[in-house]
Structure 1
Amino acid sequence: MGYQDVARDILTHVGGRENIISLVHCATRLRFKLKDQKQADAQALKNNPGVIMVVESGGQFQVVIGNHVHDVYNAVCAEAGIVEDGVQPASEPGEKVNILSRLIDIVSAVFTPFIGVMAASGILKGLLAVAVVFGWLTTESGTYKLWFAASDSLFYFFPLALGYTAGKKFGGNPFVTMAIGGALTHPVVMQALEASSQAGAATEYFLGIPVTFINYSSSVIPIILAAWVSCWLEKQGNKLLPSAMRNFFSPLFCLAFTVPLTFLLIGPVATWLSQMLAHGYQAIYALAPWLAGGVMGAIWQVCVIFGLHWGLVPLMINNLSVLGHDTMMPLLLPAVMGQVGATLGVFIRTRDKKLKVLAGSAFTAGIFGITEPAVYGVTLPNRRPFIFGCIAGAVGGVIVGFSQTNVYSFGFANIFSFAQMIPPGGVDATVWGAVFGTLLSLVLACVLTCIAGLPRTEVNAPVVTKPRENEILAPMSGTVLAMDQVPDSTFASGLLGEGAAIIPLTGKVIAPFYGEVASLFQTRHAIGLLSDSGIEVLIHIGIDTVKLNGQYFTTHVKVGDKIKPGDLLIEFDRQAILDAGYDLATPVIISNSDEYASVMRNTNDHVIDSGMPFLTVLNKGEVNESIS
């Protein structure tokens, strides 16, 4: 399925363009803010092969795409006619959003647009540290200086980047808020800061009020608060000023008022708050770093699932700005590699070809810090690998915490994080502790998953229950459909027999009982079965698929073969059939239903797993006994 097709499906199932307030994307997710989340159909999106998972968290409707998220994002914007994202307000009038959801929404919107370059800058800084330690470069060389400028520029001028994205998030003019960020790092201000630090320096005043100069390079909180104030003032000014004057006087008022207010009040207060947060975290960490490592290693991926991890990103950046190092990010690396190890275990253990391919690609992405494909596509659906990954992450986190490892530049937990952990004095025990704890996490998760991560039945056959007499198990996993809803009059009328239909989620048909193969169509799109108790069942894969002449279908049995529940009968390429324009509704018909009193569906659930009880055939005598 192409990006444009995925985009159309996503747009349809989020309620259309008119239901979208804003749309941004991060490394793997489309993050929608919707007017009415009830209009969105999460289940329908989960059925799309181009969507890994759908998460509703932090006031956002998040569609997990994977590594191709930017391409899908562009396709969605093109389909919806979205020219510029994030210009809408954070919430609609009258909308009730709790504080945590609002915080996560703000943080993700502010940091998401440049998340990739943040990670790249951190990796480059780490690689420069490695080059210096091994003597490949010196800090005095021109090569080092140019690469250092490239790696440090974003963080040095952080207030500019944050000013722009915060201005968009708060619904103001982002260039005004970017200009405020530029004022915080302007050379005149930096010179005044240097002069004020010298002994006997004269105090600077703004309209008679003393100014305290602070180094705002790499800071986070001051510019976000200043951007909020500026956007609020801009909205008030736009209400009062005539339309002809807004473009000039509204930005003028915001700059003239907000910049001095930031230096006089917002900046000092925000800096004090930043220092309190950093030192408060450090004090808690110092009490039991091993415990902090165990907790973070265990719960980090759970936080990622619900989007709660964004609440910790500013804290890590703030630690680097105030303390010059951060102890939180090293604790997260075992959590990431725990899921990577569990994914590797699934790759080694499973015999399901599609799962093996998915696990292989997810393992590669996970090494570089992108764990959503591994979590949503591999470990979480199989439950035990995800749990083993969290356990291994906790064990590795304890070791990293005990080693009191730091990072000295910002980045996201991945294989390159080891380079960012090298202190100015060179590689020491803190680095080796992180390496050991992280590798232990990966290996432990892999071993546990290989031993007990997948049910043994997954290796050879689907999980099935033993059917009772006159019971038919579901021959495939999918969405249950009443027979009269099948888009074919012959099946819907019941002329061929009673039963129900399934819209398949996978491309496998398994045996629904003990019996034999009674018939097999030459085009392989349908199969007739006869149970040991005499029930005749026809499984017809899709509507009008006979026209495919056997293309996309593979049979694993022949007429006369004995079968038992769970045996693989037919495989088919689900996506190829859909792309060819065919409906995949699959009737499961009791061909000799006129010999029985009735055919009952065993479940009222909308979705059923293969091998679960599906239909029950009642003999006429059984009905008479129940009536009497």
Structure 2
Amino acid sequence: MSDHQKITDRIMAAVGGAKNVKTLNHCATRLRFTLADKTQFDIQRLEQMPEVLSAVNSGDESQVVIGANVTKYYAEITKNYHIREAGDGTKPSADHEKNILKRVLNAIVSIMAPIITVLIAGGMFKVVIAILALFGLDPKGVPYLTLSFMADAAFYFLPFMLAVSAAKKFNTNTYLAMMMAGVLLHPNFTAMVAAGKPIALFGAPIRLASYGGSVIPIILIVWFMSYVERFAEKIAPTIIKTMLKPLLVALITAPVALIVIGPIGSLLGDGLYTAVTFINQHTPWLVPTVVGAFTPLLVMVGMHVSLLPLATLSITRFGSETIMGPGMLASNIAQAGAAAAIAFREKQARGRQIALSASVTALSGITEPALYGVTLKYKRALTCVMVSGGLAGLFAGLTGLVRYSFGSPGIFTLPVFIGNNPANFRNALFTVAIAFGLTFNIYAKTKVV
């Protein structure tokens, strides 16, 4: 039996066994379980494992924080345990949270977390193209244009990926959900929108909206479709259910998607776009400061992913974003600075090694090892991180720092700040220096109590 299998067996035992697991997903650092009985989620037992950084209940998810090796453990669990795949459409997804806002945020986190890898892939692809352009690649040439549409695919076809993720969250048919994404992005419909002439379906007007790269419309459509599918399951006679059920789902959902839900989602997106524009114009320092200060708290409850739809909307509309990148760059580097200061002051070799390793990991944009393994265990360290992250975020906001594509904010993804404005990358470097230097110096000079 491999070491990974032994560890995953212990993890599965601590979450109540395979029978207690309804669904399992993962993001960059966490195993995200949806459990039938959350009382069996043994946080104390999980946190006693050296391989587990932390365990937390967040909404309807029970999360096990692993770190950069999460994909290995996820693969081991899916290989050795039969965990039912969400999306059969026969049962509603359970969410016992009564607070509507919390339910919405929990749904956003559950849906967005699995696609972070794709956004990072597309974002870093764009970084490579930007670097090649700096070295002379012709922006009008075929190689540049070809590479560009390859990278853009991650964003333009985002509704397809969200359809899959939302189908799992809302426990409905994955392939019918992808069909609905296809309705939104079909070339014929896109051509009608581009033509700009009014279109209607049996007299019902269809809003001329472009859904490429959109987030909200497809999530709302798949949510609606989950109820349509359960309705079709109930009324379709057994003898013809195989044909009638999918027909009813498509026949009802597709027109409603184009006539009602898609436009509502598009209008909500426009509203968020207006709000982001207002903030950027009047208080550009506010969001990076708040995000820089409070990212550690958002990470602790697993809600940092809830900012992703706004960041995605901003990049697709503006070509850049200030919602996540600048503030999280400040916070992540501040975590690295605190862990480095702790390594500098730590007298025990083991503690020094752990802190130094966590500092390097945080510099690369993954902060959970530093947060759970170091700064939470030392008095005043987390306070230093939040203060320094907020101040570095304030600098980023005042200088107008923006991020042009996705990538976990850290020193290895600094090229995501390279754009048309040469000062932007310089401001990113200053943000890194402020965040690391402030935290290191503040904590290094703090009296140990």
In which range does the TM-score fall when normalised by the shorter chain? over 0.9
Q: Look up the match of 2:258.
A: 263
Helix, strand or coil at the partner of 1:205: strand
Q: Look up the match of 1:252.
A: 247
Q: Look up the match of 1:208.
A: 203
2:271 to 276, 283, 286: 276
Structure-1 separation of matches of 2:33 and 2:415 = 35
Q: Look up the match of 2:13.
A: 12
Helix, strand or coil at the partner of 1:442: helix
Aligned length: 446
**Residue 159 of structure 1 contacts residue 223 of structure 1 at CA under 8 Å; is this kept in 2?**
yes
Q: Look up the match of 1:441.
A: 435
**Greater strand share, structure number:** 1
**Residue 335 of structure 2 contacts residue 367 of structure 2 at CA under 8 Å; is this kept in 1?**
yes
Q: 1:212 to 1:91 in 2, by over 3 A?
A: closer
- Report the Cα offset of residue 260 of structure 1: 1.9
TM-score by length of 2: 0.92
1:185 and 2:185 matched: yes
Helix, strand or coil at the partner of 2:374: helix
Q: Look up the match of 2:94.
A: 92
**Residue 180 of structure 2 contacts residue 254 of structure 2 at CA under 8 Å; is this kept in 1?**
yes
2:403 to 407, 430, 453: 407
Helix, strand or coil at the partner of 2:411: coil
Structure-1 separation of matches of 2:130 and 2:280 = 25
- Report the Cα offset of residue 307 of structure 1: 1.3
- Report the Cα offset of residue 121 of structure 1: 1.3
AA matched with 1:73: Y
Helix, strand or coil at the partner of 2:222: helix
- Report the Cα offset of residue 223 of structure 1: 0.6
Q: 1:389 to 1:86 in 2, by over 3 A?
A: farther
**Residue 290 of structure 2 contacts residue 327 of structure 2 at CA under 8 Å; is this kept in 1?**
no
Unaligned runs of 5+ in 2: none
AA matched with 2:322: T
Structure-2 separation of matches of 1:75 and 1:102 = 30
Q: Trace 1:602-621 onto structure 2 (pairs within 5 A).
A: none
Q: What per-residue deviation string (whole Å, max 9, x for no partner) do you get for residues 501-523 of structure 1?
A: xxxxxxxxxxxxxxxxxxxxxxx
1:396 and 2:385 matched: no
1:342 and 2:338 matched: yes
Q: Look up the match of 1:535.
A: none
**Residue 23 of structure 2 contacts residue 85 of structure 2 at CA under 8 Å; is this kept in 1?**
no
1:308 and 2:303 matched: yes
Q: 1:394 to 1:406 in 2, by over 3 A?
A: same
**Greater helix share, structure number:** 2
Higher relative contact order (CA closer than 8 Å, sequence separation 6+): 2
Q: Look up the match of 1:222.
A: 217
**Residue 55 of structure 2 contacts residue 64 of structure 2 at CA under 8 Å; is this kept in 1?**
yes
Unaligned runs of 5+ in 1: 456-628
TM-score by length of 1: 0.67
Instruction: Say what the alpha-carbon RMSD is for the aligned residues.
Output: 2.2
**Residue 56 of structure 2 contacts residue 301 of structure 2 at CA under 8 Å; is this kept in 1?**
yes
Q: 1:84 to 1:361 in 2, by over 3 A?
A: farther
Q: Trace 1:116-135 onto structure 2 (pairs within 5 A).
A: 116-132=117-133, 134-135=134-135
Q: Look up the match of 1:82.
A: 83
1:365 and 2:361 matched: yes
Greater Rg, structure 1 or structure 2? 1
Q: Look up the match of 1:2.
A: 3
Question: Once structures 1 and 2 are overlaid, which stretch shifts more, 2-11 or 249-258?
Answer: 249-258
Q: What per-residue deviation string (whole Å, max 9, x for no partner) do you get for residues 419-473 of structure 1?
A: 22333x3413x43223212221012112223333756xxxxxxxxxxxxxxxxxx
Q: 1:244 to 1:229 in 2, by over 3 A?
A: same
Q: Look up the match of 2:114.
A: 113
Structure-1 separation of matches of 2:4 and 2:273 = 43
1:332 to 306, 315, 328: 328
Q: What per-residue deviation string (whole Å, max 9, x for no partner) do you get for residues 296-316 of structure 1?
A: 211011111111212211111
Q: Look up the match of 1:382.
A: 378
Structure-1 separation of matches of 2:243 and 2:426 = 57
Structure-1 separation of matches of 2:228 and 2:35 = 26
Helix, strand or coil at the partner of 1:328: coil
AA matched with 1:92: A
AA matched with 2:296: Q
**Residue 28 of structure 1 contacts residue 67 of structure 1 at CA under 8 Å; is this kept in 2?**
yes
Seq. identity, %: 31
